[in-house]
Amino acid sequence: NQRLQEMLRTMCRARGAELCPTDERYCIDNGAMIAQAGWEMLRVGQVTELSQSGITQRYRTDEVEVTWRD
H helices within 1-70, ranges in order? 2-14, 30-43
Q: What's residue 18's pLDDT?
A: 94
Q: What's residue 26's pLDDT?
A: 72
Residue 68 inside a domain? The answer is no
Residue 62 inside a domain? The answer is no
Residue 65 inside a domain? The answer is no
Total count of domains within the chain: 1
pTM comes to: 0.48
Look up residue 31 and give its amino acid: G
Compute the distance between CA of residue 33 and CA of residue 4 in angstroms, rounded to an integer.
15
What domain range includes position 28?
2-52
The tens-digit pLDDT sequence of the chain (70 residues) is: 788 889 999 999 999 999 998 887 777 767 777 888 889 989 999 898 999 988 877 777 777 778 877 7
Torsional class of 16: left (φ above 0), alpha (ψ -120 to 50), beta (otherwise):
left
Residue 63 inside a domain? The answer is no
Q: What's residue 10's pLDDT?
A: 95
